[in-house]
Amino acid sequence: MKFKILEKITPSKEENKLVNSETQELVKKLKKIKEATIIIGGSDAKGTVIRKAKRDVDIFVAFDYKYADKSDKLADILQTWLRKLKIKVSRLHGSRDYFNHKGKHVKFEIIPILKIKRAKEAVNITDVSPLHVTYVKNKCKKKKLASEIRLAKAFCYAHNLYGAESYIKGFSGYALELLVIYYGSFMAFI
Q: What phi, psi does 45 have (nearest 5°)?
A: -70, -30
How would residue 52 be classed by pLDDT, with cut points 50, 70 and 90?
confident
Residue type, 176: L
**Helix or strand (DSSP H, E) at 59:** strand 55-63
- The H or E element that residue 111 is part of is strand 106-114
Q: 61 near 30, Cβ under 8 Å?
A: yes
Domain extent at residue 31? 2-189
The total number of structural domains in the chain stands at 1
Condensed to tens digits (0 to 9), the pLDDT of residues 108-121 reads 999 999 999 999 99
Burial 77-110 (b: 16+ CB within 10 A, else e): bbbebbeeeeeebeeeeeebbbbebebeebebbb
3-state secondary structure of 91: strand
C-alpha span between 11 and 27 (Å, rounded): 21
Average pLDDT, the chain: 94
Which is more confidently placed, 141 or 109?
109
Which CATH number does the domain housing residue 101 bear?
Answer: 3.30.460.10
